[in-house]
Structure 1
């Protein structure tokens, strides 16, 4: 069953890096970023719905997010959803819009967020290494079944290792950039 496919391994490793970048975009810096509210869900119409399905999120100023709720009846539900997301934001109601000023980050909170960015990167690197392990195992199985030669297996293992090095490097680069952004803003 385990047939080695370089494209599949590369796709899976890229998925781990993409997931890391998504996680990092949710970490709050001092600057307003609409992706900060991506994990927010609200209880509307008797169901839990993502915020982006009941409102429009924008960043009209560098330190302010604006949430334009489409149905005024959902305003308090959206406000509760934001409060329950534990993002450290304090929504202010302005008509049918919620304004979310970005509070300044304390030095302690900056260090916590930078540490969290490192944790996210380590999880992504583990995922990349797990994909490498799967690829190596499938190569060994293919060699055992006499589908590839020992030389082919070694050459392809080198390819898998090069992919692993490339994607773990991307994880480190993304985390370092986020940590720098957190510590300087």
Structure 2
């Protein structure tokens, strides 16, 4: 096939991969009732005047399915870590024992599970839109190329197959996340 066509296809695949990676990250932030260090991924802490990710100033662990422990490298950071968790608005209530911050992850109610499933659905729809936009860009790029109609038709079919593959992958990820959320 033509080098230019290959370039357009590779570019579309790369962009669609980015949409999938973004969806994975978004779905990780939706908690499914089990404690996970990833739940605190977006927490920022005031560390000597600059906002620093929590993972850079403390160890985050999950000793069991309902508890997260945050062990700061400096004990003086405990109040800042508690404040950072509260500011992040995750619905979690941090407590400290003088050594570390302990967070008990509450059990999800049925209403909250439905809400989280809707949030996961919205994230997956955003990813599908991203993949379709990448398809549109690729199709427009192909039409700009000076190639035969047969080659153009084959390239457009390839882009559509790629799109279908990524849309199916998004749907698969959503179904898995929804099952995880709704499992009591």
TM-score, normalised relative to structure 1: 0.93
1:4 is displaced (CA, Å) by 4.5
Q: 1:164 matched to which residue of 2?
A: 163
1:98-137 Cα offsets, whole Å, 9 max, x none, are 1111101111111110000000000011111111000000
Q: 2:122 matched to which residue of 1?
A: 119
Q: 2:105 matched to which residue of 1?
A: 102
Work out whether residues 20 and 170 of structure 2, in 8 Å CA contact, stay in contact via their aligned partners in 1: yes
> Can you give the 5+ residue segments of structure 1 that lack an aligned partner in the other structure?
none
Matches within 5 A, 1:6-155: 6-142=9-145, 147-155=146-154
Following superposition, which runs of at least 4 residues in structure 1 exceed 2 angstroms of deviation? 1-5
Q: Distance in 1 between matches of 2:170 and 2:48?
A: 39
- Give the paired residue count: 181
Q: Distance in 2 between matches of 1:164 and 1:124?
A: 12
Work out whether residues 27 and 177 of structure 2, in 8 Å CA contact, stay in contact via their aligned partners in 1: yes
Q: Report SS of the residue matched to 1:5.
A: helix
> Can you give the 5+ residue segments of structure 2 that lack an aligned partner in the other structure?
none
Q: Report SS of the residue matched to 1:36.
A: helix
1:5-62 Cα offsets, whole Å, 9 max, x none, are 2222111101101110111011111111111111111112111111111111111111
Q: Report SS of the residue matched to 1:95.
A: coil
TM-score, normalised relative to structure 2: 0.94
Alignment RMSD, CA only? 1.6
Work out whether residues 8 and 142 of structure 2, in 8 Å CA contact, stay in contact via their aligned partners in 1: no
1:123-178 Cα offsets, whole Å, 9 max, x none, are 01111111100000000000xxxx32111111011111111111111111111111
Work out whether residues 4 and 139 of structure 1, in 8 Å CA contact, stay in contact via their aligned partners in 2: no
1:2 is displaced (CA, Å) by 10
Q: Distance in 2 between matches of 1:23 and 1:94?
A: 32
